[in-house]
Amino acid sequence: MMLAKKIMVAATFAMLLAINPLQANAADKATSTKLTSAEVGTLATIAAIDTDEIMLGVLASNKNPSSGIADFAKMMIDQHGSNLTQILQMVNTLHALPLTGGEADKMAADGKKAMLTLGGLDGTQFATAYVDAMVKGHQAALDLIDQHLMKTAKSDEVKQFLTSTREAVSHHLEEAKKLQAEMKA
């Protein structure tokens, strides 16, 4: 089971690295929705967040967590993996430029920092820090979507995607807060 998760993560990164300008013919480009550079940046930002959450979920799964944290980590891997797949499909379908821009670089750097911090912890110390990071991170993602990313959405596809992503982030935040409360009880 752990090997399957590691393969999924490796495949996800391979897909991200493979994104480059797509070679579509002129007829395809003429009939496709064109994403603005701000929308591409928004998708890149969400993709970076998804990648971070997947990696932190894999890390949590490898720390022999309690069943509540293990279930939450699995949800992070599965649902952020699905969201990332949607982004990649949208970028492919809409013939978008490389998936860069927005706050993607900052999110990726924040994710690396979280991996380094959490990776050195074990047991209760890890569990507490992981759940706290999930609450903080999902609240920050929700705020980012509400205050900035929704404003960049011009196409119906991106608006719909951000709306469904916001719902998922809100659900993740609720679940993380429940875990946090259980751990403090």
Please state whether the predicted TM-score (pTM) of the whole model is above 0.95: no
Would you say residue 117 lies in a domain?
yes
Q: Report the pLDDT value the prediction gives residue 70, as an integer from 0 to 100.
A: 96
Q: Is 125 exposed, middle or buried (0-12, 13-18, 19+ CB in 10 A)?
A: exposed
> Residue 48's CB: how many other CB atoms inside 10 A?
24
Would you say residue 16 lies in a domain?
no
Domain around 49:
36-184
Would you say residue 52 lies in a domain?
yes
Over the chain (185 residues), the average pLDDT of each successive run of 10 is: 50 46 36 79 96 97 93 97 95 80 90 95 96 97 97 95 98 98 92
Would you say residue 2 lies in a domain?
no
Q: Report the pLDDT value the prediction gives residue 98, as an integer from 0 to 100.
A: 82
Would you say residue 178 lies in a domain?
yes
The count of domains in the chain is 1
Q: Report the pLDDT value the prediction gives residue 21, as an integer from 0 to 100.
A: 36
Q: Report the pLDDT value the prediction gives residue 8, as an integer from 0 to 100.
A: 52
Would you say residue 61 lies in a domain?
yes
Q: Report the pLDDT value the prediction gives residue 162, as an integer from 0 to 100.
A: 98
In this structure, what token pair is assigned to residue 164?
């469904």
Would you say residue 1 lies in a domain?
no
Would you say residue 31 lies in a domain?
no
Task: Give backbone dihedrals phi and psi of 132, rounded to 5 degrees, phi first.
Answer: -60, -40
Q: CATH number of the domain at 63, please.
A: 1.20.1260.10
How far lies 157's CA from each of 48, 90, 166, in Å? 19, 8, 14
In this structure, what token pair is assigned to residue 23?
């070679």
